[in-house]
A and B are shown apart, each in its own frame.
Chain A
């Protein structure tokens, strides 16, 4: 199954899908730190499939394609605690939207940082742990 079809099926079958990426939002960098425009400009391609930057229009286009069921979060930290907090925040916000409806969380990640972040989230709340299913691609190197 190709990546696009997979993403489309997952977005269709989930109530909400978050895509987390460590790519930096080039537009917010240009706005906050104008003196870095030259450095960001060295990377001419800023689409969603290019590393290390992604621009706001690529993010908006993908979110529009998801029809309100897809959200992109850029600038994922390499710090395990920050990643765990980020995942916890996403899950808590989601559960607070409709507290009466039960939910299940599927987390699909790959790296050693992600694995430890998920472990930290699961250890933080045993009630939440049973609502989490972790898929690990265990990708080679990264």
Chain B
């Protein structure tokens, strides 16, 4: 938590995240901005063995159906999630922050 507090995007993430939640969507924060903890996706979604309580009401409805009766679309950002643009220029920079 202390480490996360030094992330300049922390407050933006929390405030905009709240706004998104108000629209009826579910928001999950992965990691503290330094370590993304991407494997949490599988515990917090229908993509893996998820905790039923953590799912949204709409996902809970879908989870009751057979897998071939609903579809899952995943949109992934490459830059910043799967790969770091800064890392392409300065390979050592990621090691320094982690």
Contacts of A139 in B (CB 8 A): 9, 33, 36, 80-81, 84
Docked-complex contact A16 and B73, CB < 8 angstroms: yes
Task: Report Cα–Cα, A23/B33, bound state, in Å.
Answer: 22
Mask of B4-46 contacts with A, CB within 8 angstroms, 1/0: 0001111011001101100111111111111010110110111
Docked-complex contact B73 and A23, CB < 8 angstroms: no
Mask of A1-32 contacts with B, CB within 8 angstroms, 1/0: 10100110110011111111111000000000
Contacts of B46 in A (CB 8 A): 104
Docked-complex contact B41 and A18, CB < 8 angstroms: no
* CB proximity to B under 8 Å, residues A79-121: 87, 90-91, 94, 98, 101-112, 114-116, 118-119
Docked-complex contact A10 and B24, CB < 8 angstroms: no
Given known contacts A142-B79, A142-B85, A130 and B56 CB-to-CB distance under 8 angstroms: yes
A137 to B, closest residue via Cβ: B36
**21 interchain pairs (CB within 8 A)?**
A13-B47, A18-B74, A18-B75, A19-B77, A21-B77, A101-B70, A104-B71, A104-B73, A109-B75, A109-B81, A111-B80, A118-B25, A119-B19, A119-B20, A122-B25, A130-B57, A132-B26, A136-B30, A138-B9, A139-B33, A140-B97
Pick the 4 closest A-B CB pairs, nearest first: A110-B80, A51-B88, A138-B13, A21-B78
What is the interface of chain B, defined by CB distance below 8 A to chain A? 7-10, 12-13, 16-17, 19-20, 23-34, 36, 38-39, 41-42, 44-48, 56-59, 62, 65, 69-86, 88-89, 97
What is the interface of chain A, defined by CB distance below 8 A to chain B? 1, 3, 6-7, 9-10, 13-23, 48-52, 76, 87, 90-91, 94, 98, 101-112, 114-116, 118-119, 122-123, 126, 129-142
